[in-house]
Amino acid sequence: MKNICALLALLPLAALAQTTPQTNSQTTPPTAAAPRPLSLRDLLRLRDVADPQLAPDGQWVAYTVSRADSTTDKRDADIWMARTDGSQNLRLTTSAASESRPRFSPDGKYLSFISSRGEPEGGGGEAQLWLLNRAGGEAEKVTKLKGSVSDYEWAPDGQRVALIIRDADPDSLSAGQKAQKKTPPPIVIDRFQFKQDVDGYLTKQRQHLYLFDVATRRLVCLTPGAFDEHLPAWSPDSKQLVFSSKRGADPDRHDNYDLFIMDARAGATARPLLATELPESDPRYGSRPAFSPDGRTLAFAQAAVPNETIYGVHQLVLLPVAGGPARVLTPGLDRNMSRPQWSPDGRSLYFLLEDDRAESLMRVPAAGGKPETVLAGPREIDAFDVARDGRLVVLSSQPQQPAEVFGLDKKGALRPLSRQNDAWLKTVSLGAVEAVQAKSKDGTLVSGFVVRPVGYQAVRAYPTLLRIHGGPVAQFGYGFSFEWQYFAANGYAVVAANPRGSSGRGLAYSRGIWADWGNKDTDDVLAVVNYAVAQGLADPARLGVGGWSYGGILTDQVIARDARFKAAVSGASIANVLAGYGTDQYIRDYETELGTPWQNPDVYQRVSYPFFHADRIKTPTLFVCGEKDFNVPLLNTEQLYQALRSMNVPTQLVIYPGQFHGISTPSYVRDRYARYLGWYNQYLMPKTTAGTGSGR
């Protein structure tokens, strides 16, 4: 529910439509034709590019390309590699199983990755570490574990690899046992937090730090025990490891991640580097700690305030490894900073800065000083990498450009490297995306976007959809959104706002909905709708609203407070927060922010406004959820659906079998978009024009 990653559920992974020969640098462009409106068939054409990683010599960059396979109805990710001069682009893997986390060995000899390829269907599908010798030959599976590899890092000397491996489920059934229909054992729970989306019920399984010797293929566990380890980082001399972990009597009861350091050898003891009340390298935000080239200093992201990791801002901090006080590198910069990487000479650090819809690449002197912009503007930079010779690559997206890998020269000029979506983009017409700002009821300035429908004409107003992001601590940014463009292709204007609770505007703005969900943030999203109406773009008689996760939660709030909306789509939402306590994965967040229901029933009732005022909702509402969602479980969606059905408000409930908080099966992704459009068309479009933009 209140997970910054929930925004991802709105935007399914893009897809690679056809098989590309391994030695082909580009798919053959389609025959030139007039651009057409985007359709759901484009989910099989759009490619999702991610995780760029430079070779040690800076000559090549590896990255992943995700696609949807309509034959298997599964997602697949393959590894590609491009020359950084832009001259060549190669597909390296073609297996039906996905590959992720491509990494070059320090000597450049191997390209490693994680994959469950070769694992039997129904046998657990454990992800293992693979090595691909760049001199030729097939990839080799070098770990053969019952547990699953989730993360890894090469030692700088190239002789060992640090891995994070999750314990195998001792109660899981083998493929043979399943074939014999053996009755599974009872699930025994004794943890404070006992549920997690995708993972399911949490038992005694943990994930630990392991050491793998490349030459001998020997694997040893460095951190046995009742804790989870995350984000390992090597010292430059390959002698020590730093990682993030929650410790204490009951780690389930807090979010205070600390950094630990240990010698990289069996039997060594880990000790805390900086034990504070501020979380360091919280794995939910993915910022790995980084040693300086001389090994003396550690850079990491740290929460600016304790006990508010969801709403809090993360800042860059430097810590002397040998001991001494930590130093905030960017004091006074009230914005999220992430993914620190040192420059090769150790004099500065690169990092990503989130600021009012943009995600920019910045650099700051290690000695302190004003951050310098490396690449900014109306774009989202989701990842970057720095080679030993200082070469830079970035993963950049813009409103009409899906994410691609680019080389970045010293003058800030971009050089396209991946080019996975170039041919497809030439075939479609996209709606214009405009950044806007509007004043909320109390005068607060709210940032957002307006997307004009394809074929827009200024002489008329259009049916308009207010789309709300998840999180709530996330933001709509200057990246490509298939969802927005799909609605624009079908004759809708789209309005998207970053209300209070969103990130990108500082701690006070993010914390503006603390224990007060649906109040100020409802005013904020309505302000951007009012702006679109005042501009003559939005038809006030044909307004729709919708969102996923917290976007669904705020959708429920909006339709309970404003009767103007003629259609709503509420995805993975909760209207009665009392029902969330103990049934979802957010127990720490409930007790930190709202308290306990028996102590603060008035607070729980206040944030449950849509359920306790369900009789005020007149908007026809489509409810959607995944059957196995432990993030915002199905029962929460069912409750408001039942309330509206009780009052004869037009409503429908769609449940996707086997799906978690993020709908991932390609046919379900397509079905969900088709149902969104069908529901909106039913109430917002004249029957003579509904659905004419793209088809299903």
Whether 75 contacts 50, CB under 8 Å: no
* CA–CA dist 276, 622 (Å, integer): 46
- Rg over alpha carbons for the chain, rounded to the nearest Å, is 25
**How do residues 303-314 score in pLDDT, each as one tens digit?**
988 876 688 899
Q: Which amino acid is at 44?
A: L
In a domain, 182, yes or no: yes
Residue that finishes a domain, picked among 382, 400, 424: 424
In a domain, 667, yes or no: yes
Query: Helices 666-684 and 482-489 meet at what angle, rounded to 10?
Result: 40
In a domain, 10, yes or no: no
* CA–CA dist 99, 117 (Å, integer): 8
In a domain, 695, yes or no: no
Residues 224 and 176 occupy one common structural domain: yes
CATH assignment at residue 412: 2.120.10.30
- The SS3 assignment for 294 reads coil
* CA–CA dist 672, 125 (Å, integer): 27
* Sign of the Cα pseudo-torsion (461, 402, 30, 76, in order): negative
- Residue 168 has a pLDDT of 83
* CA–CA dist 522, 415 (Å, integer): 42
**β 392-398/372-375 pair status:** unpaired
In a domain, 33, yes or no: no
User: Cis ω on the peptide bond leading into residue 472 (within 30° of 0)?
Assistant: yes
In a domain, 266, yes or no: yes
In a domain, 21, yes or no: no
Residues 474 and 377 occupy one common structural domain: no
- The SS3 assignment for 193 reads coil
Residue that finishes a domain, picked among 370, 397, 424: 424
Residue that finishes a domain, picked among 424, 450, 473: 424
Residues 401 and 495 occupy one common structural domain: no
Cβ-based neighbours of 322, under 8 Å, separated by 6 or more: 296
In a domain, 133, yes or no: yes
- Residue 140 has a pLDDT of 92
Q: What are 575's two structure tokens? A: 């209207």
- Does this model's pTM top 0.85? My answer is yes
**How do residues 184-196 score in pLDDT, each as one tens digit?**
889 999 999 999 9
Residues 405 and 442 occupy one common structural domain: no
Whether 381 contacts 394, CB under 8 Å: yes
Residues 240 and 216 occupy one common structural domain: yes
Closest CA relative to residue 559, chosen from 624, 654, 651: 651
CATH assignment at residue 497: 3.40.50.1820
- Residue 472 has a pLDDT of 96
* CA–CA dist 569, 255 (Å, integer): 33
Residues 370 and 420 occupy one common structural domain: yes
Could you tell me the residue range of the domain that residue 622 belongs to?
Answer: 430-684
Residues 86 and 186 occupy one common structural domain: yes
Residues 359 and 449 occupy one common structural domain: no
* CA–CA dist 25, 7 (Å, integer): 33
- Residue 669 has a pLDDT of 97
Residue found under tokens 């969330």: 580
Q: Which amino acid is at 399?
A: P
Cβ-based neighbours of 325, under 8 Å, separated by 6 or more: none
- Residue 22 has a pLDDT of 35
* CA–CA dist 303, 185 (Å, integer): 41
Residues 550 and 661 occupy one common structural domain: yes
Residues 400 and 454 occupy one common structural domain: no
Number of domain units in the chain: 2
Q: Which residues of the chain have pLDDT under 50?
A: 1-30, 122-123, 173, 175, 690-696
Residues 419 and 526 occupy one common structural domain: no
Residues 447 and 331 occupy one common structural domain: no
